[in-house]
Amino acid sequence: MDRGLVAPGWRADLVVVDDLEHCAVSTVLTGGRIVGEELFALRGALEPVGRRSVKARRVSAADFAARGQGPSTQAIGVVPGKIITERVPATLPFAKGLRGMDLGNDFVKVAVVARHGVNDNIAVAFVHGFGMKRGAIASSVGHDSHNITVVGADEADMAVAVNRLIEIEGGFAVAREGKIVAELALPVAGLMSLLSFEEVHRALIPLRAAAKGLGVVLSEPFLQVAFLPLPVIPHLKITDMGLVDVDRFEFVRD
């Protein structure tokens, strides 16, 4: 059966696009019916699925210690507006086997916290390009494994942000000076909201503003965070198992 066939007698779920370059949608049909305000209002309510999917243990600032063999390492270099990342050499403060952040040169921490209840893995590395000077931002949207990814200039705030996501069943959170200053719950599998599109749109505005208040220079910081743990896109990514050299398909051990 050709599922792409449009013909009499076949169910028609179609989107009519006037302009492919700008994806200008003029008409939507479902079951052969044009979707308008009246048809949209008749849609039935569905029981939420995928609830309570965030099964991570609570974390503390100590969980975000960055152990290493010396001050030199590789940091994930964020490219604004792109999911590809770069390798950025970093020489960081180092003492007693631990690497510290260098806010003056825009090296902050990034960590992935396993959240599916299979293990308690937490991996910590460094990221360059956020411009963050304080606080932390966390997300349970992290392609493709969708663990919790947190970027922070303060380990205590990283813990606050992660723990808040555990409490609200996933989503986005911004922490500053030990408090949550903005959040958006995504309790359906830690990926989707129970709110309407309009409510989600409104909630994203203060969320982005709160991230900007941390010094973040990226226009879509949560979108950039979502692709940091995607270990099939070059060049460096991070999973709950550690920093990944995607070009070599192996973990970075330094």
The predicted model gives 41-62 an average pLDDT of 91
Indicate the residue type of 136. Answer: A
b/e map of 86-118 (b: 16 or more CB within 10 Å)?
bbbebebebeeeebbbbeeebbbbbbbbbbeee
Identify the residue whose tokens are 């019916």.
33
> Model confidence over 66-79: pLDDT tens digits?
999 999 999 999 99
Q: pTM for the full model?
A: 0.86
pLDDT of residue 1: 43
Q: Give yes or no for residue 5 having a pLDDT over 80.
A: no
pLDDT of residue 40: 82
Report the C-alpha gap between 204 and 206 in whole angstroms. 6
pLDDT of residue 44: 84
Q: Give yes or no for residue 30 having a pLDDT over 50.
A: yes
The predicted model gives 141-145 an average pLDDT of 97
Q: Contacts from 184-189 at CB under 8 Å and sequence distance 24+?
A: 186/140, 186/141, 187/48, 187/51, 188/48, 188/49, 188/50, 188/51, 189/49, 189/50, 189/53, 189/146
Report the C-alpha gap between 54 and 115 in whole angstroms. 5
Kindly state the helix (H) or strand (E) to which residue 204 belongs, with its residue range: helix 197-212
Among 20-29, 131-140, 176-185, 198-207, which stretch is predicted with the lowest mean pLDDT? Answer: 20-29
